Structures are given as C-alpha cells and as structure tokens.
Structure 1
Amino acid sequence: MTATGKPLLSCLRVSKHFGALAAVNDLSFDVAEGEVLGIGGPNGAGKTTLFDMISGLSPATSGEVLFDGRDITRLPPEAICHAGIARTFQLNASFESLSVRDNVRVAAYFGRDNRRFAGLSIGRQAESHAEEALAAVGLTGKDDAPAATLPVLDRKLLMLAGALATRPRLLLMDEPVGGLSPKETDHFMTVVTRIAASGITIILIEHVMRFLVQLSSRVLIMHHGERIYEGAPRGLISDRTVIDVYLGEGASQRLGKLMTEGR
C-alpha cells in the first residue's frame, strides 16, 4: 500500500477486445507499493496485452487502470512513463548506433519530463540519473560500447538501465530472462533483487518459473485472458488448474523440489 493506504496500482475489471477475441477479460487485481508480482501463463494468455494496457500502448476496451489513485486508463504512453511507470520488452529495444551511456542518457532526459523542445545539453540531473542506472545494472565499465555490439545479457541490462533512468515507482518487465543461460539468469536475478530491495515496485512476466517464484512475493497466472490463480508462489505446485493448463506434472514436481530446497 502507499502512504495513503491505497494500492500503488489497481486494475479494475479491465478487458481488451480485438474484434470478437477477448485477449484480457474482466480482470481485476491490486499491487501494493514495494511488492513484486509475478505473472505467468501459456502463450496467448493475455499477459503482454495486460502490460500494453497498463503502459498505454493499447488502452483497455473497458475497465479502469489506477496508478496511486489516479486514472491513467486513457493516458498516452509518454504521460504514463512520466507519471512513474517504466517498462522493458520481450525483444531488446535500444538505439543501436548510440553508446550504452547515450542510450541511458536519452531515457533519463525524456523519461520523466514532457520536453517539447530538447535542450542543447542533457543537464546534470539527467547525467546523474544515467550514472545511477548504469551502476545499478552493472554496465558502468561498458558505457562507451555501441549498443549494437553488446551480447544478449548486456542488451537486456541496457534496456533495464534505460527504464531505471526514468526514476520509476513501478517497473514492468516482460520476459526479462528469455533467451538467457542459467548462469546469466542467475546474474539477472541478482540485479532485479537489488532493484526490488531499493523500494521499486515490480510486475514481471516470465516463463522461466524458477526466476518467477524466487523473485515474486505473489503470483498471478492467466489463461485465455482470465485469472486462474492468484496467491503465494508455493501454492502453484498444488493447484490442479495451473498444473493442467500450464505447468504439467513434471514441471510442477521440479518446481516443488526447487522451492523445498530454497527454504
């Protein structure tokens, strides 16, 4: 909850229709300040569409999205970013010809203020926020490298640094460790753990279940645009619906072993 006792984010009966298809159907949930909410589910469950609605890329057909009590349902993406919600994407998004540092500078400069006319310099404050973001993800020593030359892990960290440079209160991460090796996933998990410990609220979508359950304080599983589970990560391994439509028996058993060993 925020200082006023309200959830930081509330999705109230949100739906998104594409013609006759309901990609998200009458979904409601709250996210408390400082929480890490993990969202899982099969491909096509509506997870990324939900992020598109929250971040303004594709507004809800019906329902409301409230951020710190403010209705942001129909705001454009840049206004939502300026309000304090940042997002990373499944595919790496960067300015390939710019350096690592300049990519993060752009995010720091434009990500929290409405700048109709760009200035002649970035400014001390934006420079400071860029420095902090690079340090937070461990890219400080690679700041002069062109973004196009980075390996996959560093590209993902760069996208995360750009999001952090906007000084968000809420960070949305869409499949942040997709395509990473187990060792790289562990490294990324360490970075995200530090970010969560700093007080930034996080909602993450992920198919790598060990990443999802080890980071999340609460899990929401979607299927066909609807919630089929919401609760503690441990409850996933015994929920029959989740096992049948998503995890399967083998994955459920492996996940149970992982959570038992992680005690």
Structure 2
Amino acid sequence: MNLVIQSALPLSASHYAAFATLVPGPQRVTPDAHAVHIAGVEPSPPAAFVTYCTAHALDYAYLAPGRQLSDFGLLAMDMDSTLITIECIDEIADYCGLKAKVAAITEASMRGEIKDFSESLTRRVALLKGLEASALERVYEERLTLSPGAEQMLAGVRAAGLKTLLVSGGFTFFTEKLRIRLGLDFTRANTLEIVDGKLTGRVSGEIVDAAVKARTLRETCAQLGLVPERAMALGDGSNDLQMMAAAGLSIAFRAKPVVRHAASVAFNHVGLDGLLRLF
C-alpha cells in the first residue's frame, strides 16, 4: 500500500526524518510540500507513528498503489459542516432565538444518537414555524462560508474529469445557490415550505435521509454510466454513512467518530484540497 501523510502546513525536514525512522520506505513529496507518499507500506501503522501524527496534527491514509483521481467519475458531497463550515438549520434557528435547542438535536443526529434522521429533521424544522423566509438569505450572505480548500478541491476534480454531486439533508435554498456559485453538476436536498413569506415549519416532499443520499449517489452514477465503485463520497455525520458505504472511496471530513471509523480516509486537520494530494 501507499501511505499518504498530510499536514495543513508544509512538512519540515524533521518530519521527513521522523517518517524515515517510523515508517521506512521511499518518500515522494507533493509539490506544495503539504504531503508525502511512502510506497510499499503495510496498512497497519505502528503505535509510535500514530502518536507522532496525533502530536503534530497530521492526517494519514492508505491507498492502493497506482490509484489516480481520474479513476473516479463522480464526487458526492454532503453540504453542512462538510462543503461549508456551518449547519444551516442551526443558523436559521438563531434568528428565532432557538439555535441552542436546534443545534443540540442536530449534534445528536450527526453523532448517530438519534437514529431516525427524518424524525430529527421534522422536529427541528417545526421549531422554525412563523420565521420570516428572509432569514434564509441572511444566513447565506452573513454566515455561510466554504470549508478550507473547497474551491481548490472542486477545481482539481473537475480538471480530472469528475462530475460533482451535492446531496444534503439540508435545504435546496442553499444547495441551489452553491450549485450556481461553484458550478456543481447535480444537487439534492430538502425543500422548506414557505407560505406568505414565512416558514410553515414543514418540509415539502421526500426527506433526504441516509437512504435517499445513498440512492441519489447510485442513481447519479447510473445516469453517468458509472459503477458506484467509481464514485467518491465525502461527509461528516451519521446521515452520510450509507452514501459513503455505496462509494468506492469514502472521506470523513472533520467528522463524528462513527464516521471517521467507517471511512476509507479521514481528514481531521487538512482542508478539502487534501483529497487531491491523496493521488
């Protein structure tokens, strides 16, 4: 296997020396010096290596030799706390003084403590009843920020020929704005019901839960003539697990423990552009 070690900052000579001792093998450094590839490594990291990476905020992953980004045809992404830094529903709730209450439900759902995502979303959206719909625009304009490395990642995957899918348990108001802003190919999310300029506290249509996310990945692959093994899936919460399991490569981004443990790769420190340095 190839071992890929990454840092948010350029790696130093002392890092390379430590790797040579902890995981011997030929080293290939990426042009920006943020990652090093070590070939011919057994996929069982020594305890001292894990301790070193933890102490120095380094991410590491094992990939099959010769794997290239262009081997894939689709990148499927979660939105909230993945492509963007916020949970949109929590920020919407802040405009009616209920952020703490809604955020607690969101956090429990993403950790997998609330098993029924649809029930969790229904509960949270109901708390928004009567809020002026203009709050959605304020969240987008004032609070929504892309995660570090997002635009670089998207540029890189497009250059390699991949299509992009943003599939979210959040809301179409945000996914559609991001589709236009970032040039995404496909989106799927929930629609907040709005009547007379106010949220009704309900979602229209089928709720995008874990099963729907996985189904959307498979359907998009079929539309593109791809087998699901040629898709990558990127997420952070338990609602992403089925989608990630359906893909050929799964990446947990600053994710909940249950997601980190299930994913092929976990990014706890580097930005989303770390995806490009895997290959």
Instruction: Give TM-score scaled by structure 1 length.
Output: 0.28
TM-score, normalised via structure 2 length: 0.27
Higher relative contact order (CA 8 A, sep 6+): 1
